Amino acid sequence: GIQVEQSPPDLILQEGANSTLRCNFSDSVNNLQWFHQNPWGQLINLFYIPSGTKQNGRLSATTVATERYSLLYISSSQTTDSGVYFCAVGRPKAAGNKLTFGGGTRVLVKP
């Protein structure tokens, strides 16, 4: 099956810093989503971005499907950005529209 690798696995930031999270995937996809899992365990949708670039406030994401990677940018980080960030991909014709998740990047933003 498709492999999804996220880097770095852990990230410690000082409040106000910028950061880039990366998601590499091993095969063609027609779906890519970024999620934030907050300290209470909720999965929050950040971006649905199978290709191109999107921005939402301090967060932005870029997916280059032909090169099989996606980047999530966090600017001016805040303590509420702490948690785990997951990239999930879906393949064309995947049974059940299955999403395959990466291992996540655990982010800690210190005040």
Which chain residues interact with another protein by CB under 8 A?
30-31, 33, 35, 41-43, 45, 48, 86, 88, 90, 95-99, 101-104
- Rounded to whole angstroms, how far apart are CA atoms 8 and 21? 7
Residues in the chain: 111
Classify residue 45 by burial, with Cβ atoms within 10 Å: 0-12, 13-18, 19+: exposed
What is the smallest separation between the CB atom of 34 and another protein, expressed in angstroms? 11
How many other C-beta atoms can be found within 10 angstroms of the C-beta atom of residue 72?
23
Closer Cβ to another protein, 69 or 101, answer by number: 101
What is the smallest separation between the CB atom of 96 and another protein, expressed in angstroms? 3
Closer Cβ to another protein, 16 or 103, answer by number: 103
